[in-house]
Each structure stands twice: as C-alpha cells, then as structure tokens.
Amino acid sequence: MERYSTLFDDSAEVPFGLGCGGAIDVLFEPAETPECRALMEALENTLRGHERTILTFLPAKERKMARAVFDGRGDVLFVSKGWSESSAQYARKCAVHSLEPSQDKFFFEQLVGPPRLFVLGAGDDAKPLVSMAALMGWSVTVMDGRAQLAKAERFPSAQHVSVIRTPSDSLREIQSDDAVVIMTHSYEQDRELLASLLPRRPKYLGVLGARHRSSLLIAEAVARLGCSVEGCCEQISAPVGLDLGGEGPDAIALAVIAEIQACHAGRLKNVRSLSAEDVARHVLEGGASRYLRTYCARDVS
C-alpha cells in the first residue's frame, strides 16, 4: 500500500500540483497471481453485463493480501488459498451491513456493467444519440425494422445493430435496468414496439414525437394490453428528454442523454411527461390516420 497526497505543496520546484486537498491509498499487487487474474476476469464479466462483488483483505504485517469474488446472487466465484468460502461469505455480510468482523482492513467494491441503451430507430437523427451514449461509456444497441437503415456502418460506436423481425423476439433481451428510446418516425413501428415494451417495464422508456402522436400511441397500447392510462403514462417519458432548450438532432440527443443519466442516478424530477388527462384530450382531437402511411391508387388506363 502506498499513500499519495494531493495537498498543495508550496515547497515544490513547480508550485502547480493537483491541489485537491486529499489523499489516496493505492494498492499495488503482482500481475501474475490468482488474485489478480480473478480481478481481471471479474472486470471482463462486468463489461459483459454481469454483476460482480470484490472483497480484498489488505496486506498486513503477518498476512498477505487475500481476495474473494462473488456473483450477483452472492455466490463465491473465487477465494484465495487458505481462506474458506464460509469465511468469505461472513466477511461479505459484514461489509454489506457495515459491520467490523475484526481489526483487518478490507476493500469492498460492487461492480456493475455499463448502462445499456436500446435505440429503436436507425434514422439519421439517431446518430448523435448513439455517439453521445457511447461517449458516456454506455452499451448501445440500435434496432429498426428497415434493413436499409439498420446497418453497422451507419452506427460505428454502437455495440450491436440489428433488424427488427418481430418485436416480441427482437426485444426479448431488454431488462428492467435498461433504457429504451423509441424513435423510428414510423407510427406503425412505434405502435408495435410500445405495446411490446410496456410489459417489460424498462427503467427508462422514452418516445420521440409530438404530444398528440404519443398520446395516440399510448391510447392504442392501453386498448391492446388492458392496462390503465395512468400506469402507462408513469412508465413513459413523452416528450422524450429534459427541457434544455435548443433544436435539431444534436440538442435533442443531449436532452435525452441527460434525462436517461438522471434516471439512472435517481435524480429524475419535474419531468414533463404526458398525463392521463393529456392523453384523453389529444385523443379527442383526432385519430392516428394523419401519422399512418397512406397509399394512392393510380389510374394507368
């Protein structure tokens, strides 16, 4: 263990230190040890979306460093030689509940994978959203029912780009901790996607489009699923994104990213989403025919 101080040092030759006013303890450990390999494997699995917990007992005068790795359910995946699984579980329990098992010092860290964002819509306006999410370190998946748009070369910063064959199959991997933005600009696609997503209850579900259009989508989803309008509105962010001001795809992408980040951090307040009263009012204004694709018969005689 080595301690590094970031306090201002006026005796240094160049008086431009960090000046953060704190100190940090750094643990150095050999790379070619079972403990280090277990740590690296845990980090790799975290990037794949698997939760891991690392418990490291710091070295002392008469004891070497020891480590235990647990999965998301609390099962032991690795434990240092000479340390039993029961001892590791007890130490983990003490750490979780802020108990002190002994005078030993240990480092407890919970590792979770990067937030996952599913962008349903592969139009040009999705590009800045995908790029900004990638800059945040999120895992981004782009999906669209239009094969000519859902191409990997159009979204180089996305982890996955795929064509939606059927919503029930394509959306199966979306989980309760994920964020989803519907932005296909196709009323037919959005209608099917929203009805398929609501039962999955993702952590964040945003719908791009005007309030009137989103209200009609909600009304159709409610009729199909048999749920309440209030419950549906509570799950959906529409209009999507925080009200930051600005226009254009870049500004909208920034607003959406900011709202998703606030949602993940538990800081999402004063949202401007639709209410049941809004939906009822917009439905009375007219049907969805203006958003549907229409076909005109052509007389070739």
Is a pLDDT exceeding 60 seen at residue 290? no
The band of 300, judged by pLDDT with boundaries at 50, 70 and 90, is very low
DSSP of 251-301, one letter per residue? HHHHHHHHHHHHHHTT---S-----HHHHHHHHHH--SGGGS---------
**Better-predicted residue by pLDDT, 63 or 234:** 234
Task: State pLDDT tens for residues 124-180.
Answer: 999 999 999 999 999 999 999 999 999 999 999 999 999 998 888 889 999 999 999
* Three-state DSSP state, 139: strand
Helical residues (DSSP H) of 64-103, grouped into ranges: 85-96
Q: 234-270, pLDDT tens digit by residue?
A: 899 998 999 898 889 999 999 999 999 999 988 887 6
Query: What pLDDT digit, counting tens, does each position of 87-101 carry?
Result: 888 777 776 555 454
pLDDT bucket at 14, cuts 50 / 70 / 90: low
pLDDT higher than threshold 70 for residue 298: no
With vertex at residue 284, the alpha carbon angle to CA 185 and CA 219, rounded to the nearest 5 degrees, is 50
State residue 301's pLDDT score. 45
Report d(CA 144, CA 148) in Å as an integer.
9
Cβ(269)–Cβ(202) under 8 Å?
no
- Spatial neighbors of 67 by CB under 8 A, at least 6 apart, are 35, 38, 39, 54, 55, 56, 57, 78, 79, 80
Structure tokens at 275: 């209410």
Residue 295 confidence (pLDDT): 46
The Cα 287–Cα 275 span in angstroms is 18
Domains, the chain: 21-111 (no CATH), 116-291 (3.40.50.720)
CA atoms of 225 and 105, how far apart (whole Å): 53
What is the pTM for the complete model shown? 0.77
Between 100 and 213, the more confident residue is: 213
